[in-house]
Amino acid sequence: MRALYPGSFDPLTNGHLDLIERASDLFGEVIVAVLSNPSKQPAFSVDQRIAQIQASTEHLNGIEVISFDGLTVNCAVTHRADLILRGLRAMSDFEYELQIAHTNRSLAEQLETVFLATSARHSFLSSSVVKEVARFGGSIDHMVPSEVAKDLMRLFNSAFSPPRHE
């Protein structure tokens, strides 16, 4: 089976990666679809996010990383996905995710949305929390794959350099 895993992935966290690994075991093929949303100001470009995900999933078979805009269901149909995969961290995710799943089903009845509960050890992780910690110089090595950690350090490094006195 082929699962489409859509999201912003700005950036990929260990929680996302854990979900991709488990979905790869369950479904065989996983298309990770990076949303290109011009109305959001992302920390990383779509190309950077795709490169981060490709590097972090090299050890897995059956993973494809693409970008998309517009409706998720259109992307799923175009790529002949059997299902849409989303992760659930806590009750707070549930209401929004259920609404999206119902909406998608009303647009494409044949497409099921499958939810995987996130691993407990990653359930506190979100891309925005990771960026916040990195911005203020905290350690993020246990939160994101090493490729992402490097990019985050590069992104926020200038903010920590002591001011130069010429």
Question: Does the protein bind ligand ADP through residue 127 (CB under 6 A)?
Answer: yes
Among the candidate windows 43-51, 53-61, 121-129, 152-160, which touches ligand ADP by CB under 6 A? 121-129
Q: Is 154 a catalytic residue?
A: no
Q: Which of 8, 24, 56, 127 is catalytic?
A: 127
Question: Does the protein bind ligand ADP through residue 19 (CB under 6 A)?
Answer: yes
C-alpha distances (whole Å) from 134 to each of 45, 148, 154, 158 are 17, 11, 10, 12
Q: Is 164 a catalytic residue?
A: no
CA–CA gap between residue 50 and residue 48 (Å, rounded): 5
Q: Is 127 a catalytic residue?
A: yes
Question: Does the protein bind ligand ADP through residue 42 (CB under 6 A)?
Answer: no
Give me the least distance between CB of 161 and ligand ADP, in Å please.
29
**Residues numbered 44-83 forming contacts with ligand ADP, rule: CB under 6 A:** none
CA–CA gap between residue 130 and residue 149 (Å, rounded): 10
Residue ranges binding ligand ADP (CB under 6 A):
7-9, 13, 15-16, 19, 86-87, 89, 93, 118, 122, 125-127
What amino acid positions are annotated as catalytic residues?
Answer: 16, 40, 89, 127
